[in-house]
Amino acid sequence: MPPKQLILLASAFTYRANAFEEAAQRLGIPVVRGTDVPPPMLGKVSIPLAIDYRDLPRSAIQIEQYAREHPIGAIIGLDDSGTLLAAAASELIDLPYNAPEAALAARDKHLMRQKFAAAGVSSPNFHHYHLDADISSIAAQTRFPCVIKPTTLSGSRGVMRADHPVEFLQRVEQLKKILANEPCDEFLVEDFIPGVEVALEGLMDYGTLHVLALFDKPDPLDGPYFEETIYVTPSRLPKKTQKAITQVAGQAAAALGLVTGPIHAELRVDKGKPVMVEVAARSIGGSCSKTLRFDLNTSLEELIIRQAFQYPVSNIQSFDQRLPVAAQDKSPVSASGVMMIPIPYSGLLSRVEGLEAAARIPAITEIEITAGLNRPIHALPEGDSYLGFIFARGETPEAVEAALREAHACLSIEIAPELPLIN
């Protein structure tokens, strides 16, 4: 009997697929990608599993039909669009996964806020609107500062702070342009929560949250846009605050109905009190998972696949007590981190210099430029990606943070204006 396959579902632009494929290869599990193909090309391309991510019901049925001829052990969604389809297909095939309703609640920010409010999860006050509403009237009754965010986009795209009514009107006009070609015409207006921001990486197992890592975000995220840059773990917050963060994250996951698989949670901490921002039913984005290694140099992706295939996972109860392991020499280290290299402004990436000097900084383990040369890149709030990633490991979180900043300072990034198209 052939071995059971792993189906990976993600958009064509994800950074995550290769890491999952490598982890599956180490486990001896064959992988098939559910490739997002535009409807006119369906049936015309010779790939194992061509589907249209925009047609969720039809694509789920296609995956079920594929499973009738191929043994499937698990389906994993790698990004927000993939998680919705993975939930729908897993339900049809009767594979362990979160219910489609839970996956949708982790994707739709309005539904998420409603679930949090109903369950009493600490989260910002919010109001829900459509773009065709009377924006001037909304601005007149809004409490400032506030945060404006679309209900379905990811990567901080379209998320903006407004401090007064005039700025509110300007931000909504920006949002209308961003959403012009998106299947979304809704947005939230939330109270701005001051304080520091953290990210929690976890694994849900039969409804129980196991914390894999808690990342500090040392750069202030106060707007006008909310571009994430540095993640460092372990957190330097007091243990009492870290425990409270874990409790709130677990309550939030339960409120959404998430019971199995990875979660990535974002929280604000104001005067020691955690406030839930968002929970995604997937693992950390980009290449950031490279910061995490567990027992025997196990990657985050391998842990996720092992759980999905119901393989033994050693001592899952102690995940949140483990320290990362250095990727090269496997010696214990106390801290690790990543800088998501920000895009300062939109245009054509023409040159990145200083990589060799940055790589020589002590504690720097890798620098990865993911944006293509002479290709358009977009800064926030229009963009949703980064120029690349810088990784570091060291004895303390302070040392890791300092190394990331020093390496970034070595880089010289040249972005040329993007010339308008001439008809």
pLDDT > 90 in the chain, percent: 80
pLDDT at residue 56 in the model: 93
Tens-place pLDDT, residues 168-221: 999 999 999 999 989 999 999 999 999 999 999 999 999 999 999 999 999 999
Where helices occur in 77-213 by DSSP H, the ranges are 80-93, 100-105, 109-119, 135-140, 165-178
pLDDT at residue 421 in the model: 53
pLDDT at residue 410 in the model: 98
Per the prediction, the chain carries an average pLDDT of 91
pLDDT at residue 289 in the model: 94
pLDDT at residue 82 in the model: 92
Please give the domain boundaries of the chain with CATH numbers for all domains: 5-97 (3.40.50.20), 125-191 (3.30.1490.20), 196-322 (3.30.470.20), 337-416 (3.30.470.20)
pLDDT band at 316 (very low <50, low <70, confident <90, very high): very low
pLDDT band at 69 (very low <50, low <70, confident <90, very high): very high
Tens-place pLDDT, residues 239-255: 999 999 999 999 999 99
**Residue 208, phi then psi, degrees to nearest 5:** -105, 135
Tens-place pLDDT, residues 353-394: 999 999 999 999 999 999 999 999 999 999 888 999 999 999
Q: Is residue 332's pLDDT more than 90?
A: no
pLDDT at residue 317 in the model: 39
pLDDT at residue 326 in the model: 40
Tens-place pLDDT, residues 118-165: 999 999 999 999 999 999 999 999 999 999 999 998 889 999 999 999
Closest CA to 389 of 360, 369, 361: 369
Tens-place pLDDT, residues 223-279: 999 999 999 999 999 999 999 999 999 999 999 999 999 999 999 999 999 999 999
pLDDT at residue 43 in the model: 66
CA distance 168 to 175: 11
Beta-sheet pairing, 126-130 with 186-191? antiparallel
Helices then strands, each counted (H, E), the chain: 11, 21
Three state DSSP letters for 158-183: CCEEECCHHHHHHHHHHHHHHCCCCC
**Residue 312, phi then psi, degrees to nearest 5:** -60, 135
- CA gyration radius for the chain? 21
pLDDT at residue 329 in the model: 42
Q: Is residue 318's pLDDT more than 70?
A: no
Tens-place pLDDT, residues 20-52: 999 999 999 999 999 888 776 666 667 889 898
pLDDT band at 327 (very low <50, low <70, confident <90, very high): very low
- Decide if 10 contacts 17 (C-beta within 8 A): yes
pLDDT band at 295 (very low <50, low <70, confident <90, very high): confident
Helix (H) or strand (E) holding 241: helix 239-256
Higher pLDDT, 321 or 340: 340
pLDDT at residue 325 in the model: 41
pLDDT band at 419 (very low <50, low <70, confident <90, very high): low
Residues contacting residue 18 through CB under 8 Å, at least 6 positions apart: none
pLDDT band at 303 (very low <50, low <70, confident <90, very high): very high
Q: Is residue 422's pLDDT more than 80?
A: no
pLDDT > 70 in the chain, percent: 92
